[in-house]
Amino acid sequence: MTLLFLAALGAGVVLFVLFPVFARSGEVSRRPTAESRERKSLAEKKERIYEAIKDADFEYQAGKLSESDYRSMRADFLAQAATVVDRLDKLDKLDAIRQPRDLGREGEEESHESPTEASVCPSCQQPNPPGAQFCFRCGVRIAAPHSCPQCGAELPKEARFCTACGVAIPA
C-alpha cells in the first residue's frame, strides 16, 4: 500500500515538473491582460447580478418580500446589470476595432488586404472597421459603399448593372 502511494506521488511530481515542457506554446507563460481581467470580472459580476435577480424573484413569489421592496431591489439589480452589460459591449466593440491591427503583433497571420476606401476616413485617414458609417476618431461620415438602389446589394464603383437583380445603376 505504501509503495503504491509513493509511486502515485512520484508520478504526480514528474508530471508537475514536465508540464511546461509538454504544454502548448504560450499557454503557460501567457499572462492575462488588464482588459481580459476586466472582462472576466465583469462576466462574473453579471452572473452574480442575474442570480440575485432570480433570488429576488423567488423570494417575492414565496411571499418573503413585499411588492415595493421587490420592485425596488429588482430595479436596482437591473440597473447594475445594464451598466455591466454596457461595459462588456464597449469592450467587445474595442476588440472588433483593434483586432485587425493586433493580429500582426501577436505573430499570427496578417491580412494582406488593403483597407477599402469605404473603411478609411477621408478626413484623418484612420482605418475603421468594415461597414462603419462614421469615423470613430473624428466623427466624419465615411463614404458608403456603392449599392443597388433596388435590392441593396454592394457593387463595385464601376458597375452599371446590379449583379444580384439586374437593375440599371444610375451614373
CA-nearest of 137, 32, 44 to 84 is 44
Residue 119, pLDDT score: 65
The pLDDT score that the predictor gives to residue 67 is 92
Which of 14, 12, 16 lies closest to 28, judged by CA? 16
Q: Identify the pLDDT of residue 24.
A: 62
User: Strand, helix or coil at 168?
Assistant: strand
Reduced to 3 states, what is the DSSP secondary structure of residue 120?
strand
**Is the backbone of residue 97 left (phi > 0), alpha (psi -120 to 50) or beta?**
alpha
DSSP string, 121-161: -TTT--B--TT-SB-TTT-PBPPPPPB-TTT--B--TT-SB
* pLDDT, tens only, 96-116: 776 654 444 444 444 444 444
H helices of the chain, where?
2-22, 34-61, 67-105
Share of the chain above pLDDT 70, in %: 78
> Residue 51: what pLDDT?
94
d(CA 147, CA 167): 11
pLDDT of residue 25: 55
Q: Which residues of the chain have pLDDT under 50?
A: 28, 101-118
CA distance 11 to 8: 5
Which residues face 141 on adjacent strands?
134
